Structure 1
Amino acid sequence: EMMGLPYTGPGVMASAVGMNKVMSKAAFQGAGIATAPFAYYFATQDREAIAADIEQRFDLPVVIKSSGQGSSIGTVIVQQKDELRPALEEAFKYSASLVAEAFIDGDEFTVAVMDDVAFPVIQIVSSTGKYDFYSKYAPGVAKHLCPAPISPELTKKMQDLALNVFHLCHCSGVSRVDIMTDKEGHPFVLEINTVPGMTATSLVPDAARAMGMSFEDLCEKILLEASVGKF
């Protein structure tokens, strides 16, 4: 950006907000976008005080997430009280802040957005029962159901949520919004990925193929929108 070189994807602000879960979750909440109840904490705070506050605010299980990581790195689902302190230490290994988030016990979905168009919704089903780093990158472990086998109403609701998040964060190019549903089927935004994966097992290429766009055409389309001045 500073050198005036065209680049793909969102600008500096969108990428910074999207990469920090404290900032993005606060933005979702402030804009009235459905997201799981959360609280955030900093590495400078006393660990016992953090643990006590989380125990007061949340029922178990609770999800502890490092604020500046992706691919489930630094993310721990705490099932037992004695797992909380180790989870805090794990999250703080990667970032100076973390998010504690209510556990949403439902299905996992994702929606890519490009050029103000929401791609088909993908439902993610992992054979291990959890969508962690291994499930995301080991071929064949996670299935991507696209279009997701859900109602047209829920599909539209998720696509609208993704577009709202995309606009809120001032995104451009391709971004991907991750969503969970609770047991009643209500969708909650987890996060936005401003530089989504583009590997053989990645989600955006799958969604593009479902709408008739080849991987080669997707890459060319991304390259053609490269620009500067996206702050």
Structure 2
Amino acid sequence: MTKFRLAIIAAAFALLIGLAGYNWYNSLKGGANGARSQYASQVDPSVTIGGPFTLTNQDGQRVDQSILNGKWTAVFFGYTYCPDVCPLTLQSLARTKAALGKDADKLQIVFITVDPERDSPANMKAYLASGGFPPGVIGLTGSSEEIKSVEKAYRVTASKSGDGDNYTYNHTAVIFLMNPKGQFDSPLMSDITPQQSAEQIKDSMKAAT
């Protein structure tokens, strides 16, 4: 397959993911709320995203929602066997952090699996330590019940596709930007560049001061 055809396929895939994220976001927006910036609009305050959880990180330690406190956090749901969206999103977040410059240390990344059956803490740790991903990502897994609970809290959908060991997941691919109080701020949409994501995060940081 030529590089040109690969580029076309990648562009079409990114467009589909972007449209899915846009539709998810529009379902949460309040019609009377104005845009805070060119990248993010206010979300209907009656819609709650996030909340309490207890999960296990890649080091086998039990943690809860307090890990979101004190820093801005990009929360993303995915799984280590994901062939495209998840690694591309983590790579994009690495570029977003780099684009934050002096504010990079104010942002942490939390990656929550939708596939607890395969994503043990050890598998999460090995995956996140592989090249190209941002250093310091917090990987979270847990029991099926715990994962379903946090998916519900963040209004994430994840459906298993296929049988045997090679199944995949169709899942929500929105990045949730949470403020240092652990509260939802805005979605980071997949159809904007890492530089634009960084500008959105900086706008949110400024608005919170």
TM-score, with normalisation over the residues of structure 2? 0.31
Greater radius of gyration (CA) = 1
Compute the TM-score of the two structures, normalised by the length of structure 1. Answer: 0.29
More helix by share: 2
